[in-house]
């Protein structure tokens, strides 16, 4: 027996938007989640979103983050989503302004600042020898070389010129080409296009796996790009790196020492834009 209505919140981090539900009382029991998520995230026919998240109880941390892509697949985690769910948990009274949360990619930490809209998330350390830099790519791709790393989820990073002038359809074409290159990326990958704007500033556009489209921002992609740019000495890793996304600004800070990227923090907004109830027509 499934619920007749489901309380929800609509949130976004730098324009990356999510439908969020408090599932600590298992109100989603009885739903086939993959189909449910695919239906409610469909723009035009339902509420629409880049992803769906549930706040759940955890034995390992203050709460558990369950994240689903718009196509109904469950993801390891989502950087912008993590900020939004952290603020959601705070507003729900589940946590104080500092917290830990469990994901399929490990346990993360988050802190909410005085204005209650800015959230900083700490990522687990990244081993530099697990990153693959300067990898050759066949002709016809976004660039001659790409860089690969797993930062919560898999990411490729491509340095390009005049990123803002690249046609949206070209971004999608390249994104699909790389994301579905099963020989190189059997599990798929997110595709991040980067332009160096200044010594500590990068512009970024991302084709997201699971959304299967360009999104306004990708938090974990921005984090991967900032770390790779630091290793390549494009930016100074001892200073904050500013990522200009299509939906706003993300600030990434970290340290490189002993073959590890550590003390990795991603900071940005987490906006609560609506609350209400999902009706059966939204998922049926």
Residues recognised as catalytic: 78, 218
The SS3 call for residue 129 is helix
Q: Which among 275, 282, 283, 279 is positioned nearest to 87, based on CA atoms?
A: 275
The span from the CA of 120 to the CA of 109, in Å, is 8
3-state helix, strand, coil in the chain (%, to 5): 20, 45, 35
Give the residues across from 256 on adjacent strands: 261
Six-digit token string for 115? 């204005």
Other Cβ atoms within 10 Å of 187 Cβ, number: 9
Angle, helices 219-231/79-91, rounded to nearest 10 degrees: 130
> Which distant-in-sequence residues (6+ apart) come within 8 Å of 276 by Cβ?
7, 8, 10
What single DSSP character describes residue 124? Answer: P
Which has the closest alpha carbon to 227: 118, 279, 176, 152?
A: 152
């Amino acid at each position: 027996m499934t619920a007749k209505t489901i309380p929800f919140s609509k949130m976004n981090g730098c324009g990356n938007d999510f439908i969020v539900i408090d599932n600590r009382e298992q109100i989603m029991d009885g739903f086939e989640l993959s189909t449910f998520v695919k239906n409610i995230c469909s723009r035009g026919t339902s509420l629409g979103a880049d992803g769906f998240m549930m706040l759940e109880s955890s034995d390992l941390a203050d709460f558990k983050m369950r994240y689903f892509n718009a196509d109904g697949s469950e993801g390891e985690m989502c950087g912008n989503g993590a900020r939004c769910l952290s603020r959601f948990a705070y507003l729900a009274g589940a946590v104080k302004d500092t917290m830990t949360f469990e994901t399929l990619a490990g346990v993360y930490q988050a802190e909410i600042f005085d204005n209650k809209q800015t959230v900083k998330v700490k990522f687990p350390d990244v081993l530099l020898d697990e990153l693959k830099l300067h990898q050759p790519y066949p002709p016809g791709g976004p660039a001659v070389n790409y860089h690969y790393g797993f930062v919560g989820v898999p990411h490729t990073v491509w340095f390009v010129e005049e990123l803002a002038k690249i046609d949206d359809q070209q971004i999608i074409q390249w994104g699909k080409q790389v994301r579905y290159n099963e020989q190189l990326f059997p599990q798929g990958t997110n595709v991040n296009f980067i332009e160096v704007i200044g010594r500590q500033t990068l512009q970024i556009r991302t084709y997201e796996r699971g959304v299967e489209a360009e999104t306004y921002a990708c938090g974990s992609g921005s984090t991967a790009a900032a770390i790779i740019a630091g290793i390549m000495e494009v930016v100074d890793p001892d200073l904050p790196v500013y990522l200009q996304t299509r939906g706003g600004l993300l600030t990434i800070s970290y340290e490189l020492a002993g073959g590890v990227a550590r003390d990795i923090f991603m900071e940005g907004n987490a906006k609560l834009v609506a609350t209400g109830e999902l009706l059966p027509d939204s998922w049926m």
